[in-house]
Amino acid sequence: MAKSGYCNGSDMLLYVNGKAVGSCTTHTTTFNSETKERAVKPVASAPLSSGLWKKKDVVGLSYSISAEGLVFYDETECGFKILFALWKAGKPVTVKCMERDNSDEPYLEGGCVITSLERTDPAQDDSTYSISLENDGEPTTLDESAITENTVDAEG
């Protein structure tokens, strides 16, 4: 069945080392471009003000992922305890971002390092955790066709 309307964030999942991030309340994927600016003197026939405009080139790409969740005593997925052990190991993990019904078609998959893991335990309230991950090299999958978005012909 085709999807329509707005995307429900609960349909988007984050996996770490093959398990969905447990009791996740939100996750954010950020795609970054590292740029290099070039300021050159304008050609002699151009006005001086044309030299105020800088040119940019992309010289690097990266992505980062952050997630937040609730600490759950009966966790069956990748909760705080597993994430803590993965952080403590100090080795890259494999992440996958995908739509709930397309677990075999991630739009992003690759190695990441856990750059931070935080747990918050307030009095008389739910314990929460947050994790930040940054890419470790080029992703193995980076596929916009795995994202459901019904495109409309711009002319029609």
What 3-state class would DSSP assign to 62?
A: strand
DSSP string, 111-144: EEEEEEEEEE--TTS--EEEEEEEE-SS-SEE-G
Question: What pLDDT is recorded for position 82?
Answer: 98
CB atoms within 10 A of CB 106: 23
| Residue pLDDT tens, the chain, 156 long | 578 899 999 999 999 999 999 999 999 999 999 999 998 888 899 888 888 889 999 999 999 999 999 999 999 999 999 999 999 999 999 999 999 987 789 999 999 999 999 999 999 999 999 999 999 999 999 999 998 888 766 554
What's the pLDDT score for residue 92? 98
Name the token pair of 133: 């991950």
User: According to the model, what pLDDT value does residue 154 have?
Assistant: 55
Tell me which DSSP letter residue 48 carries: G
CB 121 within 8 A of CB 70: no
pLDDT (0 to 100) of residue 32: 98
Residue 1 has what pLDDT? 58
